[in-house]
Amino acid sequence: DAGVIQSPRHEVTEMGQEVTLRCKPISGHNSLFWYRQTMMRGLELLIYFNNNVPIDDSGMPEDRFSAKMPNASFSTLKIQPSEPRDSAVYFCASNYQGLLNTGELFFGEGSRLTVL
Amino acid sequence: QKEVEQDPGPLSVPEGAIVSLNCTYSNSAFQYFMWYRQYSRKGPELLMYTYSSGNKEDGRFTAQVDKSSKYISLFIRDSQPSDSATYLCAMSWAGKSTFGDGTTLTVKP
């Protein structure tokens, strides 16, 4: 079975450019999460969706960040304009949330972003 | 103060050693307690999860939760070089997981 698929795996861009990261969750999962991982701050939750609806975006750093989930099989995280401090590994994760929400997450391989 | 604090490491042990990884937390609402393993340049993958206080064993791995002390541990017996990775504790409630910063473990042959 395919896991969570993220693209691109690596992105190098210049400050001020728009960056779009993409994620395809595991089929059948109804929740999708975007995390950011840095050495300084660890793994931080940016936003999560349940049934394609944003539930909690309190972790989104600022208005330069936006996320969408137009359907159950696709989500994007956009940064516009990008800044060097946005350099990090961005992970997408998904799970199925029903009566029992263990919180177990299935992660993609991550998108490594470098903003020069 | 962070909701989840993890012993920072790094840890370096000889093959066959017993490893202890630890986290504390402050939010009493956390219901599920998990350990993830992350290899270099890969996404985290779930090792174990527990719900209640006590021990849960899976092969060489034992997860321990003490809700009264807000303290969780992961023990690895007979550690192997293939166990070398970063270990992240995570705690969840209301569908969201909060992670510790991770402990990097190196097991030397």
By Cβ distance, the residue of B36, B95, B99 closest to A97 is: B95
Touching check for A98 and chain B: CB below 8 Å?
no
Strand pairing class (B61-66; B103-108): unpaired
Q: List strands edge to edge, sheet with B4-6.
A: B4-6, B19-25, B71-76, B61-66, B54-58
Give the dihedral of Cα atoms B73, B102, A104, B34; nearest 10 deg: 0
In chain B, what residues touch A35 (CB-CB under 8 Å)? Answer: 99
Residue A111: name the closest of A25, A2, A5 by CA. Answer: A5
- Report d(CA A92, CA A75) in Å as an integer: 9
Q: What is the mean pLDDT of chain B?
A: 94
| pLDDT for position A98 | 81
| pLDDT for position B19 | 97
Q: What is the mean pLDDT of chain A?
A: 95
Residue A12 has pLDDT above 80, yes or no: yes
**Residue A33's pLDDT band (boundaries 50, 70, 90)?**
very high
| pLDDT for position B37 | 98
Mean pLDDT of B18-32: 95
Q: B79, B18 in Cβ contact below 8 A?
A: yes
Mean pLDDT of B77-81: 98
Q: A113, A8 in Cβ contact below 8 A?
A: no
Mean pLDDT of A88-115: 92
Residue A113 has pLDDT above 80, yes or no: yes
Kindly list the distances between the CA atom of residue A62 and the CA atoms of A15, A59, A66, A83, B59, in Å, as whole numbers in the listed order. Answer: 16, 9, 9, 12, 44
By Cβ distance, the residue of A4, A104, A109 closest to B34 is: A104
| pLDDT for position A57 | 95
The length of chain A is: 116
| pLDDT for position B80 | 98
| pLDDT for position A101 | 75
- Report d(CA A56, CA A33) in Å as an integer: 10
By Cβ distance, the residue of A35, A103, A108 closest to B95 is: A103
**Residue A1's pLDDT band (boundaries 50, 70, 90)?**
low
- Report d(CA B61, CA A83) in Å as an integer: 41
| pLDDT for position B1 | 77
| pLDDT for position B32 | 92
State the sign of the Cα–Cα–Cα–Cα dihedral A65, A25, A29, A33: negative
Q: A92, A75 in Cβ contact below 8 A?
A: yes
Verify whether the Cβ–Cβ distance A109 to B42 is below 8 Å. yes
Q: How many CB atoms sit inside 10 A of residue B75's CB?
A: 17
**Residue A72's pLDDT band (boundaries 50, 70, 90)?**
very high
**Residue B9's pLDDT band (boundaries 50, 70, 90)?**
confident
